[in-house]
Structure 1
Amino acid sequence: MRLIVVSGQSGAGKSVALRVLEDLGYYCVDNLPVTLLSAFVSSIKDSNQNVAVSIDIRNLPEEPTLVSDALDQIKASNDIDVDVLFLDADKTTLLKRYSETRRIHPLSLSSEKLSLDQAIELEKTLLSPLIEQANLVLDSSNQTLYELSETVRLKIEGKEKQDLIMVFQSFGFKYGLPSDADYVFDVRFLPNPHWEPALRPMTGLDAPIHSFLEKHKEVIELKQQIQGFVEQWLPMLEKNNRSYLTVAIGCTGGKHRSVYLTQKIGEYFSELGHQVQIRHASLEKNQ
């Protein structure tokens, strides 16, 4: 089990870091009181679920040593790998971000009614014990949202980008369009095995359907064109910080033509080494 404690200055990008960790499969908890940290980790450590917990000025105890004590107690367990990720930014960047978002700094809500400049300085002082605990420190100054996301991913995973998961899904137009598709291809114009009585009960996963469709050059041409389209734009889609790319291919009933093409195209990208999921929505619906 891996525990990542996410902390840092307000406005430095903690929420971005938590979203990245969630995309990486971490169970994320924002604003958990430090006094509950040990009990929370103990309650889930048998699940082997990686966890990320945010500790910042909102839930920081008055006694700074409580944070160190809680982390030391968790680190003492041989079953848990603990990292502390601290996000920082220079004052100019933080002032600019607060000005752009028009949000109020948490410390400006206190009875002292601190100015934004004063709140940033005080927060830096209060968080100093946490930055001393941090083994992963990230300065988000002058980084865009996408750059920050990629930097967090690099810090956590030790690689420059998360592999994009490619989802290829067949469907039948008579059941409606899939709501989560990034690209939809209509293949209803292709020759239809449905009109061959011997082929009608079969699906696009069966060899006789393959033989029927592959006799038609337009089927092969369309398969190659869809593969080429996805292949051409895939590098740019990967750079766009996406977690998923969903390509939906539809025929009338989602049983023959779309199933064949979806399966073949999905297998093509899988053989190239991409992370691929293949789904046949209408077949699953009618099972």
Structure 2
Amino acid sequence: MQDDLEHCDPKQRVLLVTGMLGAGKTTALRVLEDLGWEIIDNFPIRLLEGLIESSPNGGPGPRPPLAIGFDSRTRGFNPQQIISQVQGLDEREEFELTTLFLDCSSRELERRYNETRHRHPLASDAPASTGIRAERELLAPLRGWADLLIDTTDFTSNDLQRSVRERFASSAPDDVTVTVSSFGFARGMPPLADLVFDVRFLENPHWDEQLRPMTGQEAPVGDYIRKDPGYEEAFARIRDLLLMLLPRYRTQGKAYVHIAFGCTGGRHRSVFMAEQIAAALRQEGFSPTLLHRNLGSRAADLLEGGPRR
């Protein structure tokens, strides 16, 4: 965080973060805080000018970038007044204002509300869909006016965090940040993967009744996959391709690379291959983050096509 603060701009950089309730504002603000931004959430926007004119801790010196979160629940929320106010501040040379709008499809928002059993603030005793529809109409001017838009409909929390880091890190890291993940095609592809490898060509441990309850992190499953005649060559070629590509991504200034491995259910082959590739990259000096999107998902015969006969 200290490194980020050392790169403070002489202008006061301000990011307004808003959008549909449930689209990920809290997650986005948390990531910005990790990046060295000063965070204020649910702030009355009518007081914005006084806030950004004040120095942190009341003293002189460089000012860290400031991210302000607000939404339809914020007191005095009026999209047209907010736009007019921000336009006036944006004309001043000492400020650099940007607005980020987080959107999400109504269908997905409704699913999230039903899953968490939270009541939509604009729905009162009506279904969540009613509140979502009213909120979308209310926010339409802000959505159309915002400088940046991130649609989180198909995002996991990790996807959103990565997107925010890529857009708002104040300086690029010295090295490329590598994420290696596994996923199940039956539950959809990861929306932000840079490189996707389909490992469904490997023999499937799911068809072994003893291995079926296990995962690709367990030795018997790994031994089974290694015995596939195609495994060793495929692993070596993918490893060598990545070792060629990652330094070139670094040279081109790419800060983040997400490498994803997919199989049918996301519990056996993709998990094992992701683990093995991550280990190989560590041996070559990289420090990949390892994520298994569907490892905790309940194994289901239907995802794998039903029992063999």
Give the drift of 1:90: 0.5
Q: Please give the residue correspondences for 1:180-191 in structure 2 after superposition, counting only pairs within 5 Å.
A: none
Taking the aligned partners of 1:65 and 1:82, their CA distance within structure 2 comes to 17
The root-mean-square deviation of aligned C-alpha atoms, in Å, is: 3.0
- Identify the residue that residue 115 of structure 1 maps to in structure 2: 127
Structure 1 range deviating more: 98-107 or 82-91: 98-107
Give the drift of 1:73: 2.4
Taking the aligned partners of 2:173 and 2:28, their CA distance within structure 1 comes to 14
Taking the aligned partners of 1:89 and 1:162, their CA distance within structure 2 comes to 33
Q: Please give the residue correspondences for 1:47-196 in structure 2 after superposition, counting only pairs within 5 Å.
A: 47-59=62-74, 61=76, 63-109=78-124, 113-157=125-169
Taking the aligned partners of 2:97 and 2:77, their CA distance within structure 1 comes to 23
Give the drift of 1:62: 5.5
Structure 2 gaps of 5+ residues are 1-11, 178-278, 292-309
Q: Please give the residue correspondences for 1:123-272 in structure 2 after superposition, counting only pairs within 5 Å.
A: 123-157=135-169, 231-232=282-283, 234-237=286-289
Structure 1 gaps of 5+ residues are 166-227, 241-287
Give the drift of 1:118: 0.6
User: 3-state SS of the aligned residue for 1:106?
Assistant: coil
- Identify the residue that residue 183 of structure 1 maps to in structure 2: none
Does structure 2 conserve the Cα–Cα contact (< 8 Å) formed by 1:153 and 1:161? no
Summarize the Cα distance change of 1:136–1:63 in structure 2 as closer, same or farther, 3 Å threshold: closer
Give the counterpart of 2:42 among 27, 31, 34. 31
Give the drift of 1:156: 2.3
Give the drift of 1:159: 8.7
- Identify the residue that residue 273 of structure 1 maps to in structure 2: none
Q: Please give the residue correspondences for 1:10-29 in structure 2 after superposition, counting only pairs within 5 Å.
A: 10-29=21-40
- Identify the residue that residue 257 of structure 2 maps to in structure 1: none
Q: Which of structure 1's runs of 4+ aligned residues deviate more than 4 A? A: 158-165, 228-231
Structure 1 range deviating more: 154-163 or 128-137: 154-163
Query: What do residues 54-77 of structure 1 show as CA deviations (whole Å, max 9, x unaligned)?
Result: 121011636432201221122122
Taking the aligned partners of 1:85 and 1:43, their CA distance within structure 2 comes to 22
Query: What do residues 61-100 of structure 1 show as CA deviations (whole Å, max 9, x unaligned)?
Result: 3643220122112212212211101000111111111122
Query: Identity across aligned pairs (percent)?
Result: 31
- The two structures have a TM-score, normalised by structure 2, of 0.50
Does structure 2 conserve the Cα–Cα contact (< 8 Å) formed by 1:38 and 1:73? no
The count of aligned residue pairs is: 174
More helix by share: 1
Taking the aligned partners of 2:138 and 2:116, their CA distance within structure 1 comes to 24
Larger radius of gyration: 1
